[in-house]
Amino acid sequence: MSESFSFDEIDTACIKALISNPRGSWRELSQISDVPEKKLSRRLGKLLDDQVIRTAIELNPVVANKGYTVHVWISVKFGKEKEVAQFFANRPEVRIVFLTTGLADIFLEIGLEKAADLSVWMHDFVTQIPDIKTVETQAVLKPFTWASKPKALDGTSDKNVNFRSLTETELKLIHALSNDGRSSIKSLAEQIELSEHKTQKLLNDLLEEGIFNIRVDVEPSLMGYKSEAIILIKARPDAANQIAKTLSELKNTRCLFGISGDSQFFWHVLCNDLSDLWKLITEDLGNFEGIQSCNTNMVTLALKRAGFMRKVSSAQLFSNLN
C-alpha cells in the first residue's frame, strides 16, 4: 500500500455517507453523498481494500469482556515509548494504544473477564518490563457515549445498556461482523447457520438493544480533526449526571466514560486544531457548573484503535495532509 495519499472532497463525502450508514448499499450511500454510484464504489472500495478505513464492530464496554474495562496510563524511560507501546499493541486484550502527553507516555484500554484478572495481567506483563517507570489504572464504571464516530455527523448520544450474557449465536454473529462489518445477510446467515430472515432480525435486535455498534474506523486527522485529546475531569458528585448529559451531546465528544480514581470522567475529544481544543477546555468547560478541574492529555500517535492494529500510523496520515 502506498504511504503517500490524501483525501479530497469526494473521498470525505463518501466516508461521511458510510459513517452514517456503515452497512448501506453503494446506491444508498450514493444518494446520501450525492456522489455517482460507480465513483463512490470505486473510491470506498479502494480505501476499504487498503485498510485506510474499515467497518468495525464495537461492543458496548458494559458487555465486552463481561464488562470489565480498564484504562492504563504508563510512564516509561525516555526513548522507550514506541517500543513499549508496540509490545502492548500486540496483546489481544488491549483494544487501544496511544502515545500521549501529560499524565503519562502511553495510554491503554484493556478488556478483562473479571476484576481479579487485573492483578494477574499487571504481574504477567506490566511488572515484567524494566523500562516501565510508573503505572496508573482506572476502571470504567459507566459508559455514557462509546461509539467512536465523530459526533458532528449526527449529534446523537448512545443509549445505556444493562449487562447480560450473550448467547452462542449472538457471539457468532458478532464475530462474523468483526471480520467484515459489511458482510451480506446471506453470508452472515451461512456463517451462523440461521435463515436470512432470522439473521436480519437478530442483527436488528442487537443494534436496537445497544449491544454493539457498527462503525467506520478512520483516522480522525483524515477527517479534518488535527487535535485529539483525552481529558480527565474531576467534578462534584451532585453535578456528575448533568455534566455527563451535556458532554455527551457536544460535537467534539468521541467517547465519555465514568471512571474510578481521582477523576470522575474520561472524555475523549476531537478538535479541528489546538485553538479549537483550547476553547473547548477553557471557555466551554468554564460554563459548566460542578467541574472542579481537568487534566488534558494530547494523543500524539495511535498504534491501535478498537482492537485493530494501525496499518498506517496516524503520524504518517497526518503528515500527508500538510
pLDDT tens-digit map of 74-129: 999 999 999 999 999 999 899 899 999 998 999 999 988 888 899 999 999 998 89
Taking residues 229-243, report their average pLDDT.
95
**Cα angle 196, 201, 207; round to 5:** 125
> Which residues pair with residue 255 across a beta bridge?
268
Name the pTM for this structure: 0.77
Cα gap 281→35, rounded to integer Å: 37
pLDDT in tens, 134-174: 999 999 988 887 654 444 434 444 455 555 678 899 989 98
What mean pLDDT value characterizes the chain?
A: 85
pLDDT-derived band at 66, boundaries 50, 70, 90: low
In the chain, where the domains are located = 9-50, 64-151+219-319, 167-210
In the prediction, which pLDDT does 322 show?
Answer: 35
Q: Which fold has domain 64-151+219-319?
A: Alpha-Beta Plaits (3.30.70)
pLDDT in tens, 1-26: 334 456 889 999 999 999 889 999 99
In the prediction, which pLDDT does 96 show?
Answer: 92
Evaluate if residue 131 carries a pLDDT over 50.
yes
Contacts of 44-51 spanning 24+ positions with Cβ under 8 A: 44/14, 44/15, 44/18, 47/11, 47/14, 47/15, 48/182, 50/1, 50/2, 50/311, 51/1, 51/311, 51/312
Query: In this structure, are residues 70 and 86 in contact, taking their beta carbons and an 8 Å threshold?
Result: no
Domain spanning 9-50 has what CATH number? Answer: 1.10.10
pLDDT-derived band at 294, boundaries 50, 70, 90: very high
Q: Check: CATH 1.10.3210 for 167-210?
A: no
User: Do the domains spanning 9-50 and 167-210 agree at the CATH topology level?
Assistant: yes
